[in-house]
Structure 1
Amino acid sequence: MTDPIPNFLDAAFSGDDRSPASVNLPILDQWQGYAEDKGFEIVARGPDRYHLHLRCERCGGTMICKIFTLRTAQPTCPHCLEARWRALCEAAGVTYLGRGDRPNYMRVLLPCGHETNRQQELLERVRRGATAIRCAVCLEDRLQAEARARGWSLIGDDPEGSQHYRLYRHDCGHRQRVALGNMVTGRFTCGGCSEGWTRDKSHLYMMRFVLRTGREAVKVGFSRDPVSRLRHQLITERDQDARLIRTVEVPTGHEAMAIEKALHTTLRQRHPEAVLDRAEFAGEVKVLSELYAARIEAEITALLDRIEVRLRRRARRREKRRLKRLRRRLAQSQAPACPAAEGSTLASRLPPAATDKLSPSDPG
């Protein structure tokens, strides 16, 4: 732990009724010449024989300075320095609170209301518009909110020390390193409970794009997270005219992939002229194919409706079979374990000849 940086403003005095603490020693004319050349005036000796009390000719503020520093370097007026820092902070959009915990650092109040230490060089770049100040508290809150939206909770920093990763806990209890960008887009799976995208729930989707030429196009595909697919993978500009207009839930990614392939085959066979050439959307939609003219959107919607109805019917049949198996197991678990009943059941299953052998012999 480093020692706190002394605040030299505490040692300065203003022109009031207070007098600076000083030793009773003479002030050499040579020293006064050094001070005048560097924009200061010596007003008294310092608290010991190594220091002087100086007054800044620019602002009128006073300070304590070593004689050696006055002779060999350019003293810095703490009052002028603080004024420059205040102006710098104001230009950078923050409020100056005082000196920081390290040299060249300032304690500032951010627009969000949180306090932090920031380096002068960083604030200079913020003033020029080259970067922005990131609040660590707000960042933590944002990362936690992004994690909760996907069923995770933020634990802390990356155990391997990467600034681009954090350690998270899934709702199933599994802990995992996840890249910050992947937590936003959802392009990852839980290493504890997920069996991979082929076994996870997926979606068929239809999206509409308005190209720069004004032409409308639709895209059909499948994705575990269609919203993330659109916003983080397909569009090239944040304000691009693109919308997700239809989704159909599919039990697994493997099944969604098979349905999507069959859907594209059907569309190409029925409307080969509606398939857009890549040159029409290159640089606007980050795919190589699978874009169609918007005039067949109604037919694509009808096909997705039929697929959705078929999937729902199959899901209901599966649920009925599951409930039937569950009731059968429940009945078996609640059946009384009676040896006599078991014997009679066994006897009823045997042929008559076998039951005769099991019956007692007639009395002689």
Structure 2
Amino acid sequence: MTNFINALTISGSPVPVYPGKLMPHWIEAAQDKGYDIVARIIDRFHLALRCQHCGELIKVRLFTLISAQPLCSACVQKQWILTAQAAGLTYLNRCPDDRHYAIYQAQCGHIIRRQFEFVERVAAGKTDLRCNICHKKTEVRKAAARGWELIGPDPEGDPNYRHYRHSDCGHEQRIARANLQTGRFSCGGCGKIWTAAPSHLYAMSFTLPNSRELIKLGYSNNPIGRLRDQLVLDKKMPCAILKTVSVDTGQQAIQLEQRLHKKLRDTYPDAVIPTAVFADQINVKSEIYDIALTPVILAELDALAEPTSVRAL
């Protein structure tokens, strides 16, 4: 390493001091922007500034000092570290390939690469952070639970779909991630379409953050998955499945549901809840009623639970 007779150490490296006077307006500009000039360095175009906030030395072009606000790399990095901590991450270092990204360690222990701006939004609670490695393991596990193997991304590039292989027959197909979670699909090789498969009518209750209680009537071949994976946007919102009724086919479930909704809308129009009331909490546009209608809806489902009622349709 080259030894300089008159040098400063900046960011761990020796930087030669350049002889020359410090102009008064340079000193004033530095102080106005939160720095003290320590020396001229390298050549007549550079200065060594000491940050008045953290005491670290930075190397700055004279033009930058006069025309802009120099950034203290130590202060900037400290803010990256604090923001990462607020987002539940550990800052490791900047990404060598893109100055807008950094390398972090997630709470699960995996190393992830994310944009600084994205981590800021996570820290502010504006979005959620997801470890892609853990998420893929979860998707693999959910696919296996339904008898499928996750092959990879959607061949057509749709982020809402994945490419799967059926463990029973080996058939490969695209399946929507939401449908895989709820079971609302069938194998194109050996299965029958969901409209011909067994299904359920259900009644579910929800309690909004303002304590208002609602009830939903609907159908699904997997009511639990429908509730947990599709309907509830805030996973902390109190909700429950009040009742389910088994139906022979999905097509029959559609017909029964439509008949019930028409009856409820016609008989109890004031109990129908506008979408705006629950739009940010429940992922559906209709089929939501005031909780006061619960005895009526449960009575309708009880009636449909009798074999003669379903056959009569």
TM-score computed with the length of structure 1 as normaliser: 0.58
Equivalent position amino acid for 1:21 in 2: V
Where does residue 281 of structure 2 map in the other structure? none
SS at match of 1:29: coil
CA shift digits 1:292-324 (9 cap, x unpaired): 6646877765638x99xxxxxxxxxxxxxxxxx
The Cα of 1:223 is off from its aligned counterpart by: 5.2
Question: Is 1:27 equivalent to 2:20 in the alignment?
Answer: yes
Q: How many residues are treated as equivalent by the alignment?
A: 274
Q: Shift of residue 112 of structure 1?
A: 2.5
Structure 1 unpaired stretches of 5+:
1-9, 14-18, 266-273, 308-364
Q: Distance in 2 between matches of 1:189 and 1:209?
A: 25
- The answer to whether residue 286 in structure 2 is matched with residue 282 in structure 1 is no
Counterpart Cα distance in 2 of 1:88 and 1:218: 40
2:283 match:
none
Partner of 1:124: 120
Are residues 35 and 180 of structure 1, via their aligned partners in 2, closer, same or farther at CA, if it must alter by over 3 Å? same
Please tell me whether Structure 1 or Structure 2 has the larger radius of gyration of its CA atoms.
1
Q: 2:190 aligns with which of 190, 193, 215?
A: 193
1:193 maps to amino acid: C
| Partner residue, 2:77 | 82
Q: CA deviation at 1:22?
A: 0.3
Residue in structure 1 matched with residue 307 of structure 2 by the alignment = 303
Q: Is the 8 A contact 1:202 1:222 kept in 2?
A: no
Amino acid in structure 1 at the alignment position of 2:307: L
Q: Deviations over 1:109-162 (max 9, x none)?
A: 222222222222223222322212222112212222222222222222222222
Q: How does 1:167-178 map to 2 (within 5 A)?
A: 167-171=163-167, 172-178=169-175
- State which of 83, 87, 109 in structure 2 corresponds to 1:92: 87
Q: Which residue among 140, 144, 147 is the counterpart of 2:140?
A: 144
Structure-2 residue corresponding to 1:134: 130
Alignment partners' CA distance in 2, 1:202 and 1:86: 53
- Where 1:76 maps in the other structure, the secondary structure is coil
Rounded Cα–Cα distance in structure 2 between residues aligned with 1:77 and 1:211: 50
Residues 234 and 97 of structure 1, relative CA distance in 2, 3 Å threshold: closer
1:218 and 1:65 map into 2 onto residues whose CA distance is: 63
Q: Specify the alignment match of 1:56 in structure 2.
A: 51
Are residues 1:159 and 2:155 paired? yes
State whether residues 218 and 294 of structure 1, in contact with CA within 8 Å, keep that contact through their aligned partners in structure 2: no
Supply the distance in 2 between the matched residues of 1:63 and 1:234 (Cα, whole angstroms).
Answer: 53
As a proportion of its length, which structure holds more helix? 1
Q: Distance in 1 between matches of 2:190 and 2:76?
A: 58
SS in 2 for 1:134: coil
Please show how residues 228-243 of structure 1 align to structure 2 within 5 Å. Answer: 228=225, 239-243=238-242
CA contact (8 A) 2:139 2:150 kept: yes
SS, match of residue 21 in structure 1: strand
**Does 1:12 find its partner at 2:6?**
no
2:5 alignment counterpart: none
Cα distance in 2 for partners of 1:60, 1:230 equals 55
Q: Distance in 1 between the 2:113 and 2:76 partners?
A: 17
3-state secondary structure, aligned to 2:14: coil
- Kindly state the Cα deviation for residue 207 of structure 1 after the two structures are TM-superposed: 4.2
Partner of 1:111: 107
- State the alpha-carbon separation in 1 of the partners of residues 270 and 233 from structure 2: 15
Cα gap change, 1:27/1:139 in structure 2, threshold over 3 Å: closer, same or farther? farther
Return the offset for 1:257.
6.6
Secondary structure of 1:103's partner? coil
**Pairwise CA RMSD of aligned residues?**
4.6
Structure 2: gaps (5+ residues): 1-8, 208-214, 279-285, 290-294
Percentage of matched positions with identical amino acids: 36
Task: Tell me, yes or no, if the aligned pair for 2:245 and 2:304 is still in contact at 8 Å.
Answer: no
Distance 1:206 1:49 in 2: 80
CA distance in structure 2 between the aligned counterparts of 1:178 and 1:140, rounded to whole angstroms? 15
1:27–1:116 Cα change, 3 Å: farther
Closer/same/farther in 2, CA of residues 224 and 79 from structure 1, 3 Å limit: closer
Q: d(CA) in 1 for partners of 2:22 and 2:48? A: 15
Amino acid in structure 1 at the alignment position of 2:64: T
Q: Look up the equivalent residue of 1:26 and give its one-letter code.
A: P
